[in-house]
Amino acid sequence: MHSTMMQAPLSLNHLLERAGQLFSGNEIVSRLPDKSLRRHSFGQFYRRTRSLAAALAGLGLAKGDRVATLCWNHHAHLECYFGIPAAGGVMHTLNLRLAPDDIGWIAGNAQDRFLVIDDVLLPLYQQFAHLHRFEKVIVFPFSGAAVDSKYADYEALLAQADGQSFEYAPHHEDDPVAMCYTSGTTGKPKGVVYSHRSTILHTLVGSLSDFWGLRGTDVLMPVTPMFHANSWGIPYAAVMLGVKMVFPGPHLHPEDLLDLMSIEPPTVSLGVPTIWMSLIQAFEASQAADSPHHGRWTLPRGMRSLVGGAAVPESLIRAFDRHGIWLLQGWGMTETSPLCTISYPRAELRGASADERYRRAAMAGVPVPLVELRVRGDTGGDQPWDGSTVGEIQVRGPFITGSYYRVPVEEDKFTADGWLRTGDVASIDSLGFVKISDRTKDLIKSGGEWISSVDLENAIMSHPSVAEAAVIAIPDEKWSERPLACVVLKPGAQASAEDFRAHLLAHGFAKWQLPERFEFIDAVPRTSTGKFWKLKLRERFPK
């Protein structure tokens, strides 16, 4: 017997058509390089996206051809998210924070045919142009300046194209729509290729109310770059639901974000923890009577902020909650689209104390539907879900990559039975809450016992004098490794190693788990996606 259901392929084009039909009056706001705001309606977005697709088809884009983007977060980048796949192409978001040589290598490895680039990023392009020749460089006049005639002008291409009679490139649901390279924090960058099907399933799952819980009445501010795992996939969901978007453009400093939040208050935003750490510090400093910014900003009370990409300290969750903002933690990777777990209040936690709610919110959370998750020990067996036994997380599911682009399936990344080895070490408790202790490469093994750098960092960051902290392993003759804490104090604050030791003991750490040394530094180095870059600290403090 066969089911009687239609075989309609899952498709991004459906989301675009739906947005054009149902939400044409809703707004998309982009902050331009001069900090002014540009407003677009969903109707304009729909028409411009179809024009982009028609223009790309007119330029000879063939099915499966890669079109790279080197852009900030704004409406034209969103047009690429849908316009490139509509023409049968694959959008390849390049990470503008990587070294130029790495960007050039990645574009070459992906065999990108065209490039869509913000005019303000052309100086960056010129630094890697010799490494990869794009057939066509299409410049988006983000700053409003005229486009040099040696490039194609994005706006002129759209104006000349016939979007109205454009016909979508035929496709199967497994055909590729986008690709993204891992940022290479722990190895050479590798390409992950998403399909219509994986993207639609990820969009549907993420949008459920226990997870992102997006609604048509929301106002979304994506601070996560659109090149970082497709801004975690949220732009797709916002288009599906007609959610108003406010894009910060190139202005990501805390003061700029606070300005934008005061003018266009979001109800949902997303970004890595370091963004929110500096934002809350800037906001709290502005409350002092003698601050030059006194009274300048209001935080959007009631906002939900999706935070992931690195562990979210409990102290940060508490700090935002004092201002009526809830941080919703998720865990995932470029390889996993990225959403795998979200920490949401399960029914069993109804009536739990505030402390317990915060403790859970500081965990990576519960696997979302369609993601299978297991934790494997050194000997390969499944670890019990007892909340304390740790092992490597492995995942499997329809929006998780099963290989890397142009790389033979690697035994160190995929198990023989087809699970992705994440390289993250975690425990799971009986309610299914995952708690990440470390990346395998960041683990500290002292005297045969593991010490979680994440736990130490979170506890140190709960000290009122601390702005940021990162803990790394240093070699030790007797214990093989010992923790070293790198601490950034808040401006004007004072605290000593002794204060921190007492603070950690009061937080339940045993003496042998305490950092061997505390180094006071000016700032924790950041990766290209804004996370703490421990590799750089290990280079700086080799012993």
Q: Which residues contact 374 (CB under 8 A, 6 or more apart)?
A: 382, 393, 394, 395, 419
What amino acid occupies position 525? P
For residues 19 and 40, is the Cβ–Cβ distance under 8 A? Answer: no
Pairwise CA distance, residues 474 & 92, whole Å: 38
Q: What are phi and psi of 156, to 5 degrees?
A: -65, -40
Measured from the CB atom, is 453 or 513 closer to ligand ADP? 453
Residue 183 touching ligand ADP (CB under 6 A)? yes
What is the smallest separation between the CB atom of 288 and ligand ADP, expressed in angstroms? 32
Among 308, 313, 397, 483, binds ligand ADP (CB under 6 A): 308
- Candidates 150-158, 199-207, 240-248, 420-428: pick the segment binding ligand ADP (CB under 6 A): 420-428
Provide the mask over 362-381, with x wherever binding to ligand ADP is found by CB under 6 A and - wherever it is not: --x-----------------
**What does the DSSP assignment read for 272-329?**
-HHHHHHHHHHHHHHTSTT-TTTT-----TT-EEEEESS---HHHHHHHHTTT-EEEE
Pairwise CA distance, residues 354 & 477, whole Å: 43
Q: Which residues contact 4 (CB under 8 A, 6 or more apart)?
A: none
Measured from the CB atom, is 446 or 527 closer to ligand ADP? 527
Residue 67 touching ligand ADP (CB under 6 A)? no
Look at residues 262, 261, 267, 265 and name the one whose alpha carbon lies nearest to residue 213.
267
For residues 366 and 414, is the Cβ–Cβ distance under 8 A? Answer: no
Tell me if residue 182 is catalytic: yes
Q: Which residue has the tokens 């991004």?
A: 12
- Candidates 4-12, 232-240, 372-380, 417-425: pick the segment binding ligand ADP (CB under 6 A): 417-425
Measured from the CB atom, is 9 or 184 closer to ligand ADP? 184
Q: What are phi and psi of 24, to 5 degrees?
A: -60, -25
Tell me if residue 264 is catalytic: no
Residue 311 touching ligand ADP (CB under 6 A)? yes
Q: What are phi and psi of 417, to 5 degrees?
A: -95, 20
What amino acid occupies position 173? E
What is the smallest separation between the CB atom of 187 and ligand ADP, expressed in angstroms? 9
What is the smallest separation between the CB atom of 15 and ligand ADP, expressed in angstroms? 24
Of 155, 385, 450, 516, which one is the catalytic site residue? 450
Provide the mask over 127-166, with x wherever binding to ligand ADP is found by CB under 6 A and - wherever it is not: ----------------------------------------
Tell me if residue 533 is catalytic: no
Of 79, 264, 314, 335, which one is the catalytic site residue? 335
Among 331, 344, 405, 532, binds ligand ADP (CB under 6 A): 331
Which of positions 523-542 make contact with ligand ADP (CB under 6 A)? Answer: 527, 529, 531
Tell me if residue 326 is catalytic: no
Total residues at interface with ligand ADP (CB under 6 A): 23
Q: Which residues contact 397 (CB under 8 A, 6 or more apart)?
A: 336, 370, 371, 372
Give Cα 306 distance to the centre of its chain. Answer: 10
- Candidates 17-25, 115-123, 326-334, 479-487: pick the segment binding ligand ADP (CB under 6 A): 326-334
Which of positions 437-476 make contact with ligand ADP (CB under 6 A)? Answer: 439
Pairwise CA distance, residues 518 & 145, whole Å: 50
Measured from the CB atom, is 79 or 455 closer to ligand ADP? 455
Among 199, 422, 437, 446, binds ligand ADP (CB under 6 A): 422
Q: Is 159 helix (H, G, I), strand (E, B) or coil?
A: helix
Look up residue 168 and give its two tokens.
């979508």
Q: Is 214 helix (H, G, I), strand (E, B) or coil?
A: coil
Which of positions 16-45 make contact with ligand ADP (CB under 6 A)? Answer: none
Measured CA to CA in angstroms, residue 177 lies from 12, 61, 196, 307 at distances of 8, 13, 6, 25
Of 49, 69, 182, 422, which one is the catalytic site residue? 182
Look up residue 507 and give its two tokens.
């937080």
Look up residue 247 and give its two tokens.
């894009």
β strands within 52-94, DSSP E: 66-70, 90-93
Give Cα 113 distance to the centre of its chain. Answer: 26
What is the smallest separation between the CB atom of 528 and ligand ADP, expressed in angstroms? 7
Residue 310 touching ligand ADP (CB under 6 A)? yes
Look up residue 191 and give its two tokens.
């390409």
Q: CB nearest ligand ADP: which residue?
A: 183
Measured from the CB atom, is 242 or 423 closer to ligand ADP? 423
Measured from the CB atom, is 79 or 438 closer to ligand ADP? 438
Distance between first and last Cα of the chain: 67
What is the smallest separation between the CB atom of 271 and ligand ADP, expressed in angstroms? 12
Measured from the CB atom, is 137 or 279 closer to ligand ADP? 279
Q: Is 413 helix (H, G, I), strand (E, B) or coil?
A: coil
Of 356, 445, 512, 539, which one is the catalytic site residue? 445
Measured from the CB atom, is 304 or 531 closer to ligand ADP? 531
What is the smallest separation between the CB atom of 180 and ligand ADP, expressed in angstroms? 9
Among 175, 218, 264, 424, binds ligand ADP (CB under 6 A): 424
Active-site annotation, residues: 182, 335, 445, 450
Residues that bind ligand ADP (CB under 6 A): 182-183, 185-186, 229, 308-311, 329, 331-334, 364, 422-424, 436, 439, 527, 529, 531
